[in-house]
Structure 1
Amino acid sequence: MLQWAQRRVQAAYERLLRREISGAPTHVAVIQDGNRRYASKQGGDAPDGHRAGAQTTEQVLHWCQEMGVEELTLYTFSTENFERPDHENEALFDLLERKLYEFGDDDRVHDGEVCIRVIGDRDALPERVREAIDYAERRTEHYDSFTLNVALAYGGRNELLNAARDVASAVEAGELDPEDIDVSAIEDRIYDCPVRDVDLIIRTGGDERTSNFLPWHANGNEAAVFFCTPYWPEFSKIDFLRGIRTYESREESWRRAKANRALALVRELGGVELEEARSVIDRFRGNLPEESSVEELGIEELDVDGESSVE
């Protein structure tokens, strides 16, 4: 009876969260923490936790597609994880190999047109895992409806360091002018295929840190971050929806701050950069304080010569 009541409450809360959410982030990145601690709590070994976590991964993939998320990145194995006991890593590599082959053949993957890609130092992985990666990527490379990035042997600092080295080598070889070094020059050297900026990072397991995960695509985009206490195998749809709600709150706050900065620009600078400020205000008019408006600030329309004035 108690379990039935709990399920009813959870279902009601899930419906409430779903009604509160009006959209979804384009790119969600997840730090899947707590598999080993979950296994220990259950009286099992680390491989038991990883197997349970793999089931959660499949559920999250479905939830993302259901919500309209277009890209999901999973932090599955970091460069630091190589320091764990060999028997634990070997069991995890066995699981990764099997799951990659399964994903490559899964009808749900093909029906949903999911493109599977692996990011990280794949050369550091066992050959059998690399072969499974090649299989999954080759089987799904022509899809573009949804992208699943699996971060294996991944380290954000190494990623940026290698990109910086490539840029330096290109400059030294005369292939790249220092004046031409821009965002695209770095991004083109991070991955073979483009990765969208991260909108939301979710971390399970209770720790409140992002652990060197996607520094270029997350920090540069000021991604929202949602930390939650459940271990990864315990991560529920309610937790996922709460993460989406955090993203929406973060976006609303960002839009309001952007609109207020535009208003401050108008007040302080008058005609200087007024056209840019006006365009920002128009974009975020719904987020402006009720007591403020372009008209109340006395901003006249730009004249034919492109000049503006403030009364």
Structure 2
Amino acid sequence: MASCPQAGLVPSGPALKRWLGLGLLLFYFMSLGYAVEKKVAKGKVGEKVGLPCCHEIPSTESLRNYRVYWQKNITEVVLAYAEGKKISVNERYENRTELDSRNLTLWISPVEILDNGPYQCVVQHLKISQNSIAPRIVCDEPVTLFITADFSEPSITAEVRSSSCESDEVVVRCSSHGGFPKPKISGIFNNTSVVWNATWVSESSISPYNVTGNVQLNVTEDTSFTCSIEYSGFTKSASLLLKKRSDCVLPTIPPSYNVITASSIIIIVFLLAVTLAAKFLPRHVCSQCCMSQDSEEEVKESMKTAELSKVTSEMSSV
């Protein structure tokens, strides 16, 4: 009597498809998690940076049991070892790279901006049998290298475009150069962020950047202005004191219509008064002069009469 296979040991057609579907779904979510957990290395231009590999050789083995390939952008071989010997090195990395023989870390020193980008560590284990070597891939994992180059200290200049007693219109210019990656420029004026008209200059996406920002401000008093250049978690800042100009001249305000009318009336009245005074004052003065002359003559006549009376009385007494 033929024995029947135990249920569940050999999946039937629909069950097999279901298991395959679940397996593919699990693989998809694992790949998502793998993509999220990509390794990252960071460094500044001129420093020594290590790129971690996905495999560490056990103490019971040595590099002679492996093949190790470090690649950039998948197609460019940076460094390769086979059976403990260096078999390839990119000329751009010549004398700048070394491989750790135990954890297979790739060391680059000094790093350059051109080193920025994705790398991949591929490790094969060599199983040596009689007259043959059977390589087996142990790991194949990417790592991204982020390179940073410091920007110069920001240079700030200010130009007064127009000025009044109330405020100055000032154009502030902030610039910095020689850094990487592309930076963000920000500014603070009167404890408020300003909006820049910014431009970036670079020969390529992996070349140093020069950045320049311009902003127009209304300065009503002496105020400090700060410009900041931000890149890869680093910041370079500088400040400048913007001074309000004090040599202002108040503009001449033309008199109003009412003021002009009142002034005209006053002038006309004054001229009339002068004219009347000039017309009647001489007659009055003349009459006063005549009266004074008559008075003087009367006094003189009375004095003469008194003297004659005195002389007559003296002669009578003789």
Q: TM-score, normalised by structure 1?
A: 0.27
Give 1 or 2 for the bigger CA radius of gyration: 2
Q: TM-score, normalised by structure 2?
A: 0.27
Q: Greater relative contact order: 1 or 2 (C-alpha under 8 angstroms, separation 6 or more)? A: 1
**Structure in which a larger fraction of residues adopt strand:** 2
